[in-house]
């Protein structure tokens, strides 16, 4: 074997995919696997609407198969600018929008532009693993600020304040949140904006679940910020049921032009990778121009599944859970001391998978604040959820 793999690549971990590999082995042994580990609605009974698939086909048939503008097709950026005005009352210029291959690429662009040599990024804890991975990858330090489980996972502002240092480059918000499902309240977002203003830091706002909320309305950080720069990251994956297209965008809300250097750097990165998918971008123009209730219908179905799952989960001894207000995950706490049999969340999750076929993700895969938890999606149909929760109940007995 030739051993040239870099340390930074060896360090990449992604629990969501790691558990999928164990699930694959379990399935090969003939056992039915119930996937509650995948945050992809299209994998369940939320197919891509026909008009969206047709738009992709037509884009290709109409010859849009060439490299396009590295910043993104202008027509798409115009539609995105209109959508940001209509939905969030933001005035974002077309040139302040960059089309990316998913939020994933947007996060990579921003983190690689801000982070090197021990610089710090403040991220919520528990954290979506991508933020940790990229920050480490670029030789920086991901610093988690606490989402407080006792306060329905709302951010702990005092903890955040304490963790700001002269190495901090930005504060990241992820609301609605993966994995906790919390929707940051308006007061908390304002407090974060004030802190960012005090320390002259930009805010990164991962908004991939902004359309998937229950009970409480979504609050867009940029719409609350008068002078603090906010970089919004969003995409088509979840809202428009096209996870596999890999299409996202980022926008700069930058009232006092503090981000000029960063914007130019990110644009250079965008040019270096030529462009994101041309056909997906032209299809996305059609998606945004077409009135459709596919997202509302998805959220309606998901709300029933959330309610069902939450009711089942909260009756299981050894688990306690905050009711999520957005996204499609539950993140229960496991009473490992009381349950006795398992030392760690990973032990329990792997045993659950091997014994029952129920595949969740262990909480420690979401950073240190995730320890002692597990993440379950409520994307499957209620019939499946019923089987799953029966299996979990029996397993714990
Ligand atoms: C919080 C969060 N951000 C980003 C992504 C990735 O989004 P995309 O498909 O646009 O790359 C996910 C996917 O699960 C996510 O949960």
Residue with CA closest to ligand 1 atom 12? 208
Report the separation in Å between the CA atom of 185 and the middle of ligand 1, taken as the mean of its atom positions. 21
Q: What residue segments make up the domains of the chain, in order of their start?
A: 7-47+294-396, 50-289
Helices within the chain (DSSP H only): 7-10, 15-28, 50-61, 74-88, 102-114, 129-137, 157-162, 186-198, 221-224, 260-272, 278-289, 294-314, 336-339, 345-356, 382-396
**Substitution site in 208, 245, 327, 367 for ligand 1 pocket (most atoms within 8 Å of beta carbon):** 208
From 308, 251, 240, 228, select the one nearest 88 (Cα to Cα).
251
Common-topology check for domains 7-47+294-396 and 50-289:
no
Residue bearing tokens 């528990």: 126
Report the separation in Å between the CA atom of 43 and the middle of ligand 1, taken as the mean of its atom positions. 15
Atom of ligand 1 nearest to the CA of 177: 1
Q: Report d(CA 118, CA 115) in Å as an integer.
A: 8
Report the separation in Å between the CA atom of 105 and the middle of ligand 1, taken as the mean of its atom positions. 10
CB 38 within 8 A of CB 360: no
From first to last of the 397 residues of the chain, give the pLDDT tens digit. Answer: 777 899 888 888 777 777 888 999 999 999 999 999 999 999 999 999 999 999 999 999 999 999 999 999 999 999 999 999 999 999 999 999 999 999 999 999 999 999 999 999 999 999 999 999 999 999 999 999 999 999 999 999 999 999 999 999 999 999 999 999 999 999 999 999 999 999 999 999 999 999 999 999 999 999 999 999 999 999 999 999 999 999 999 999 999 999 999 999 999 999 999 999 999 999 999 999 999 999 999 999 999 999 999 999 999 999 999 999 999 999 999 999 988 899 999 999 999 999 999 999 999 999 999 999 999 999 999 999 999 999 999 999 8
pLDDT of residue 374: 97
Atom of ligand 1 nearest to the CA of 246: 9
pLDDT of residue 136: 96
pLDDT of residue 152: 97
Q: Report d(CA 374, CA 392) in Å as an integer.
A: 12
Atom of ligand 1 nearest to the CA of 106: 11
From 368, 363, 360, select the one nearest 392 (Cα to Cα).
360
Tokens standing for 311? 């009711």
CB 79 within 8 A of CB 251: no
Q: Report d(CA 165, CA 168) in Å as an integer.
A: 5
From 183, 186, 220, 218, select the one nearest 205 (Cα to Cα).
220
Residue bearing tokens 């938890």: 373
Q: Report d(CA 124, CA 155) in Å as an integer.
A: 8
Ligand 1 pocket: which residues have CB below 6 Å? Answer: 39, 102-104, 128, 174, 178, 206, 208, 235, 237, 243, 248
Does domain 50-289 fall into CATH 3.20.20.80? no
Choosing among 3.90.1150.10, 1.10.4160.10, 3.40.50.720, 3.90.1330.10, the CATH entry for 7-47+294-396 is 3.90.1150.10
Q: Is this model's pTM higher than 0.95 or not?
A: yes
From 298, 14, 315, select the one nearest 136 (Cα to Cα).
14
Atom of ligand 1 nearest to the CA of 100: 10
Q: Report d(CA 344, CA 362) in Å as an integer.
A: 9
Query: What does the DSSP assignment read for 198-251?
Result: HTT--EEEE-TTTT-B-SS----HHHH-SSS-EEEEEESTTTTT-GGG--EEEE
Report the separation in Å between the CA atom of 42 and the middle of ligand 1, taken as the mean of its atom positions. 14
């Amino acid at each position: 074997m030739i051993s040239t793999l870099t340390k930074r690549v060896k360090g990449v971990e992604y629990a969501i995919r790691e558990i999928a590999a164990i699930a694959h082995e379990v399935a090969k042994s003939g056992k039915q696997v119930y996937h509650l580990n995948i945050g992809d609605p299209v994998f369940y009974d939320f197919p891509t609407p026909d008009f969206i698939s047709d738009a992709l086909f037509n884009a290709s048939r109409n010859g849009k198969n060439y490299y396009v503008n590295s910043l993104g097709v202008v027509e798409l950026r115009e539609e995105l600018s209109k959508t940001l005005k209509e939905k969030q009352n933001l005035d974002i210029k077309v040139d302040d929008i960059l089309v990316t291959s998913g939020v994933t690429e947007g996060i990579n662009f921003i983190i690689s532009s801000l982070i090197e040599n021990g610089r710090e990024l403040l991220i919520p804890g528990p954290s979506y693993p991508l933020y940790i991975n990229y920050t480490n990858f670029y030789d920086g330090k991901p610093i988690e600020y606490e989402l407080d489980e006792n306060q329905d996972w709302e951010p702990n502002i005092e903890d955040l304040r304490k963790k700001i240092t002269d190495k901090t480059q930005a504060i990241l918000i992820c609301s609605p949140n993966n994995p906790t499902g919390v929707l940051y309240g308006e007061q908390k977002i304002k407090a974060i904006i004030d802190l960012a203003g005090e320390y002259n830091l930009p805010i990164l706002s991962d908004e991939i679940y902004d359309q998937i909320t229950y009970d409480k309305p979504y609050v867009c950080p940029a719409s609350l910020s008068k002078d603090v720069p906010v970089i919004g990251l969003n995409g088509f994956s979840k809202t428009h049921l096209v996870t596999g297209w890999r299409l996202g965008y980022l926008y700069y809300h930058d009232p006092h032009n503090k981000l000029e250097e960063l914007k130019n750097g990110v644009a250079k990165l965008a040019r270096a990778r030529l462009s994101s998918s041309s056909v997906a971008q032209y299809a996305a123009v059609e998606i945004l121009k077409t009135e459709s209730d596919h997202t509302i219908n998805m959220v309606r179905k998901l709300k029933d599944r959330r309610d069902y799952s939450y009711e089942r989960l909260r009756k299981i001894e050894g688990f306690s859970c905050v009711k999520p207000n957005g996204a499609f995950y539950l993140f229960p706490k496991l009473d490992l001391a009381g349950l006795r049999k398992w030392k760690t969340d990973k032990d329990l999750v792997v045993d659950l998978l091997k014994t029952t076929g129920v595949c969740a993700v262990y909480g420690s895969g979401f950073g240190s604040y995730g320890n002692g938890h597990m993440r379950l999606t409520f994307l499957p149909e209620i019939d499946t959820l019923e089987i799953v929760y029966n299996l979990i109940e029996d397993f714990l007995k």
